[in-house]
Structure 1
């Protein structure tokens, strides 16, 4: 299959959270292939360094996104190394299952500190750069689970619902600066983590009955949608939640 090239992405600085593995790794690879200057962060130091090592010119720093000053510092350092950030992909998340009745306030707060807070902190950090440059694109990775509300994922689902609302609010507030803010909601993406923890043959067979397109959703499928949203081809798209779920919703 042949896929699109976006000339407007060449030379742009892209910052990606949670970029060392899974969907995040594909974001890094796909933007790099477009000629963008790619910076990414992750807690997985070995995986991050290995990925940066095979993508010449990319920039990586280990970072705990729950530490707001560390996240802000990483964004500032990436901009100093590669140039002002014009594309932000808020990808980092943790979808570990938990029973709502057994979730303590501390555990709830920790979940939101990973799944929601970094998206706002990072967006505010890149805002001055994008405003100065005359615009930019922020892509917040959400999930169709925000629509379905599956059990044992209350904090994750609440965070992703908030991500959708945050994207709307920032899109409206920052539109005059030509900063576009959109959410991207994948369905069940086949990553190594999903294969190891939850994507059993039985679960996949059930999912296949619920979708229109029977092929697996792969990380690169999600990344290619992000490429479009980040490019000038999507210059009039903002405040939207674009779903990529093989027709599940």
Structure 2
């Protein structure tokens, strides 16, 4: 039975290869690819197998790098789709599923960065194409930030920390990649994406201000709660003191009444 399942899965992987191989070459300003199956899908592992097999059977270095870039993009698209999924079984696992997609994205980024560097060192690809791939990778880090800024608005509070780290890492990568470009390419990229960079900065500043405001509200609520608690404690102490005073007063009255009764008897 297990053998049949394995064979069937392998066949599915091979059948998926033609679809995976289509439209792999992507322009630097093209939108992200469709997410396809996300980590929420029970057969998601088959997609991962198919991608690995696709890369393994791609022998041209440039195409191999292109596919790695594309598959990293798909993981960002998956994170975006998961963040907007309203199904209960997905909502309950959003943090876990998004982190899984982003982890695979990181793995692809490490691979295509290393392979691109190797191709440049060994001159496996023409120099002009190396520069084009570098520009594409640079744009991708900007695009990932843009998408993840949307994702972070649709996830539970406990999942935001992990996504913020990915955004920060993408920002560092983007700035680092710009610094690695030659002067002409650097100027071209900065001019080409200036509007997007400024818009992204405004979004990020807005998010930081929103988080700061939320934190201040929490601190204010905590302080108010503490004040109420202190007031409650103070009131309780006053009540206890009042009760003790009344008890002492009643005790004094009782003793005085007893003394009068003794005098009357005498």
TM-score range relative to shorter protein: 0.3 to 0.5
- The TM-score normalised by the length of structure 2 is 0.35
Larger Rg: 2
- Length-normalised TM-score, structure 1: 0.37
